[in-house]
Amino acid sequence: MRKKLNGKGVAALAAGSMLLGTSTGAFALEIKSGNDKVELQLKGHIARAVLVADDGQENKFLHVDNSNSESRITLDGKVKADDLTIGSTFELQWQANPSDKVSMEEESISGEFKERIMEVYLDSKELGKFSLGRGDMSSDDSTEVDLSGTDLAGNSGVADVGGGFKFNDPNVSMPTTDENGEVVDKRLAVSNVFDNMDGLSRRNRVRYDTRKFAGFGLGIAAGEKEMFDATLVYSGELAGTKLEGALAWSNPGSDKDYSQINGSASLLFPFGLNVTAAFGSRDLDEMPAGDDEPVFMYGKIGYKCDKLLSIGSTAISLDYGVYENVKHQDKGEEGTAYGLQLVQKISDWNTELYAAWRNYELEDHTGANYEDISLLMAGVRLKF
């Protein structure tokens, strides 16, 4: 028997589904708005995994929520009137043991709800889209354009899995406790070295996106604390070959002292071969003498096959990235990351199985002998 919910019952259902780790699809629910003119949709996904980490001195087995695609729940409302769509999006994220936060010292992190999106928008096919509230700045995801089908397992944001693990060096002291009982740890974490400069993320902002012209579109956004960005995007297909790309400029405003340019592009051939590239560079207002500006370069090559298994498409890829001075310009750091990713879809269940191996290397001008960090992750994402 199909059940109906009015608008008041949706939030309770959403929270209950997330806390229980179950999908609302299991109940065959029909979501009904409190207003008959509004189309209401409840959706989301759960992305869990197990992670094995080796920092050169010890190994650990952990249970994580995949920060490449954090578990979330979304409520979309729309009203359509001729060419104009008036809509709203309310999205919550929930993670226990985020894959970018767990470490050898902290393997259990309590889950909590975190707002991702809370916006209203006006969308016209002729005039473009205007958005108001908390949501993506125009530059968000501009270094993560990826047609490989494996971005769930790994992409240019290599610190989204393993960002909390620390590099070990015999010449750098292990964590100690000061006279106040506070832990002092001077080691660099993966997140201190690897940053894909992916725009300005999600903020309270106003944003405008033009309609597409010959595959090209322009987005601009102005956010809190005087931040601003602009992004040129492209999406097209020729003879079965798909190409997508983004090029962004951003200024993070009063809290930061730099501007940034970054982008990415991905090409998918009709026979499954694909290549992806991303880059980023920051122009610092105050550059330490003799040091280089932060920059990163990333590449991926993959193969995507829709017919290898009858249950759904199979995608595999190899990637490599170099990240220089992205957080500590005075240390002359160069981080290298490379890995292997695999994603298998199960189409009838709207489910993806994924696995990834990643290795991180670190060098700096001091000549320290840092141990590599290697990770192996395997998990499941269920969309509802």
Domains defined for the chain, CATH in brackets: 37-383 (2.40.160.10)
- Taking phi over 0 as left and psi of -120 to 50 as alpha, with beta for the rest, 28 belongs to left
Q: Are strands 3-5 and 29-31 parallel, antiparallel or unpaired?
A: parallel
User: For residue 161, which of 150, 146, 172 has the smallest C-alpha distance?
Assistant: 150
- pLDDT of the residue at 27: 42
CA distances from 156 to 29, 201, 299 (A): 37, 15, 8
* Strand ranges (E), 174-215: 176-177, 183-184, 202-209
Amino acid at site 10? V
Q: How far apart are CA 101 and CA 93, in angstroms?
A: 15
Query: For residue range 69-85, what is the model confidence (pLDDT) as tens digits?
Result: 999 999 999 999 888 99
Q: Are strands 202-209 and 128-136 parallel, antiparallel or unpaired?
A: antiparallel
Query: For residue range 263-307, what is the model confidence (pLDDT) as tens digits?
Result: 999 999 999 999 999 999 999 877 654 567 899 999 999 999 998
- pLDDT of the residue at 361: 96
pTM of the entire predicted model: 0.86
Token code pair at residue 160:
């989204």
Q: How far apart are CA 334 and CA 56, in angstroms?
A: 19
Q: How far apart are CA 19 and CA 111, in angstroms?
A: 9
| Residues in the chain where the model's pLDDT stays below 50 | 1-28, 289
User: Could you give the 3-state DSSP secondary structure of residue 133?
Assistant: strand
- pLDDT of the residue at 326: 77
Start-to-end Cα distance in the chain? 19
Q: Are the CB atoms for 156 and 298 separated by under 8 Å?
A: yes
Quick one: DSSP state of residue 192?
Answer: H
- pLDDT of the residue at 237: 96
Token code pair at residue 104:
């050898």
